[in-house]
Structure 1
């Protein structure tokens, strides 16, 4: 892609006719045309087993800035660009094997597949740039593996780094299902500090895939996002608000995806990607209707927000908003060091 090409966005929406109550969409944008280090979001569903996966991958640009590959047109790609896409391929292969062999979503088998594929993709020539922060083909990952049962949906999140997985329900709103692999995991503090990651997928150093399991009882939305979506807002609750505001103004899944794409490009300073699946809603109209009350509650949170010029008042509002929002938001967050079953 020419360097002067406009920033691009890719959206996707699908509703399988043979699987009532299920729909999915994904959004991908890049901040620098042709150089986006987020891979395309992964959206998979196996109709016979009623099992699916949504996932996002954010190449770690600082750790993987060295060139790793040159395409047929002579365009160099960074290790971060390559790493996110290679990891995406590995996860897709792993999910296929889990379905075909009837295996559970074990993080150790995913780690093995990632290491195998990343090792095969390692550049032949080592970079002359070295340091403790450097990695070969580094990327984050947040994935949700789910199985739709008659009475509930079994949900397993698998992640490495600071991309996140969430569940969004009409009664409880947005709840995070992962804990960032950073020393600081307070979501409000992270908006101003951007702490370094303590674990990420890469080809040249050890890494781990964490897992956490929950049950979704009733209707809800499962989603994964890179920090381009949630890392450039005023408070953690802003991410829920933009999801619901875009939903309420949309006519269908494709329109929702397009609106999310346009919205994130207005405020982010990074590549941004998101993948979600809605479960248990008869159609898009019911999805909107059931989230209307939650949307109105979100709107009320912003009444009386201080003017941006009054920094002290705005800081106080952000802290108070986070104080009231945090309990439900973190209800399903895994404890420090926990790997769910």
Structure 2
């Protein structure tokens, strides 16, 4: 069976995107796969630096690409070295050190806990066939980019955002909490790991916060994927639908890498067509109701503006009488002048 996958990276400003190219890997025997994304943190790493990628990029831009290449190499070298959180950290730190030694940069004059050296998020997931029809998923992450699992039974987040406070994903959309952990070159960081075993068929994907963070709820994000799957004739159409819908709402760079395992495209369409996004129906109905009320309100405001203009055209005839017309005769003006002398 062919391996079904798609990925995309779209820059909000061409040439300045701080998301790197997504990771999409499959071994030759088709038993090991990986998806991943890396989002340079522009606020914390806004300093311009010299780098292997040129001399006009931010440290956030450089960081996401360095880390993306490190993870791609680690995944490709599977078998030579086990993928552990400590091994990932050491490889990243070594690469950052080489970058800093080769491309010296001025230290930032800013002294803030928000400023970091080469900051980026990391989220990638390896998928290894453990038995016929079963897969072991290992989710790795640092920061607020995410790994997801999607089956006919549910839509699951496989990574917990590294945020200050205990906000759930909906609360974070509304409050935008500060990040408590990310990959960087100047401070300690951790790589979180979570493993699950699931049966095929399944969809696994990684996404940066530009993909999911601008929808009103996590249900809206799933519904975009779900609606696109139902409408698309193939993976290309599905990718284009998802990318277009995300671009309509986001104010950030976006990147995603998605993989289907254990099913053909048609089979997974049929399987997922029987599923509904839990809770979304009532939310969507209320949104339509509000949209209809807002449209009615818009019409009423336009009608009010017309009535205001009609009323003003009548009212201003008397209201502007002494401004628009000279009602004092010349003789009266001369008499007033004599008295004033």
Compute the TM-score of the two structures, normalised by the length of structure 2.
Answer: 0.79
Q: Does 1:110 align with 2:92?
A: no
Q: Does 1:183 align with 2:164?
A: yes
**Contact 1:246 1:259 (8 Å CA) reproduced:** yes
Please state which structure has a larger fraction of its residues in helix. 2
For residue 27 of structure 2, what is the aligned residue in structure 1? Answer: 46
Alpha-carbon displacement from aligned partner over 1:44-95 (angstroms, at most 9, x marks no partner):
11123611110000000110000122689x7610001110000001101111
Flag structure 1 segments of 5+ consecutive residues without an equivalent: 1-19, 312-341
The secondary structure found in structure 2 opposite 1:258 is helix
For residue 78 of structure 2, what is the aligned residue in structure 1? Answer: 98
Alignment of 1:1-341 (within 5 A): 20=1, 22-48=3-29, 50-69=31-50, 76-99=56-79, 101=80, 103-122=81-100, 123-130=103-110, 131-149=112-130, 150-172=132-154, 174-184=155-165, 185-281=167-263, 283-295=264-276, 300-301=281-282, 302-305=284-287, 306-307=289-290
**What is the number of residues matched between the two proteins?**
287
Q: Which moved more, 1:79-88 or 1:175-184?
A: 175-184
Query: 1: distance between equivalents of 2:200 and 2:9?
Result: 28
**Contact 1:53 1:145 (8 Å CA) reproduced:** yes
For residue 331 of structure 1, what is the aligned residue in structure 2? Answer: none
Measured at CA, do residues 286 and 299 of structure 1 come closer, stay the same or move farther in structure 2, by a change above 3 Å?
Answer: farther
**Contact 2:23 2:257 (8 Å CA) reproduced:** yes
For residue 335 of structure 2, what is the aligned residue in structure 1? Answer: none
Compute the TM-score of the two structures, normalised by the length of structure 1.
Answer: 0.79
Greater Rg by CA: 2
Flag structure 2 segments of 5+ consecutive residues without an equivalent: 295-341
TM-fit CA distance, 1:161: 0.3
Query: 2: distance between equivalents of 1:298 and 1:29?
Result: 30
**Contact 2:19 2:38 (8 Å CA) reproduced:** yes
